[in-house]
């Protein structure tokens, strides 16, 4: 018995395409800048930043091609960004006049990333992605 694939294309949301493109450009710049920085000053911290940029770039490519592993990795990256923002806020020694601004920025970042995570987790968006991985 032979399996026949449907020729009807899956619907593609503008949100996923937008997220993929808006992530591809800065992560590509991060890869180039990280590679140059690593050549100039080979340090572990620079190598970790480069690895993060490469990971984000590959994830954005997968997101653009509607790969489910990329959707899950992108959710993880956004979750890590939220966690990192709160940890940085806790560890930073903010001047009193900037403390309120820092709190607002972190909470806005958390809210926006949370909304994107919720959207990427929705049934409508999940249906766009392949289930073969």
Angle in degrees, 0-180, between the axes of helices 14-40 and 44-64, rounded to the nearest 10: 160
Q: Round to whole Å and give the CA distance between 122 and 24.
A: 23
CB-count exposure of residue 70 (10 Å: 0-12, 13-18, 19+): buried
Instruction: Note the pTM of the prediction, 2 decimals.
Output: 0.82
**So what's the pLDDT on residue 21?**
96
pLDDT < 70 positions in the chain: 1-10, 93-97, 131-133
**So what's the pLDDT on residue 4?**
55
Q: Round to whole Å and give the CA distance between 26 and 52.
A: 12
**So what's the pLDDT on residue 88?**
83
> What are the residue boundaries of the structural domains of the chain, listed by start?
14-126
**So what's the pLDDT on residue 1?**
54
Q: Round to whole Å and give the CA distance between 61 and 57.
A: 6
Structure tokens at 32: 């180039």
């Amino acid at each position: 018995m032979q399996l026949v694939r449907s020729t009807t294309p899956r619907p593609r949301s503008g949100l996923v395409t937008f997220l993929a493109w808006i992530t591809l450009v800065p992560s590509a710049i991060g890869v180039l800048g990280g590679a140059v920085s690593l050549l100039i000053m080979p340090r572990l911290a620079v190598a970790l930043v480069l690895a993060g940029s490469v990971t984000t770039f590959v994830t954005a490519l997968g997101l653009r091609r509607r790969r489910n592993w990329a959707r899950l990795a992108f959710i993880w990256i956004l979750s890590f960004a939220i966690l990192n923002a709160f940890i940085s806020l806790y560890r930073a020694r903010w001047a009193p006049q900037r403390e309120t601004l820092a709190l607002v920025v972190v909470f806005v970042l958390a809210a926006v990333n949370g909304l994107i995570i919720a959207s990427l987790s929705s049934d409508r968006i999940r249906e766009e992605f392949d289930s073969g991985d």
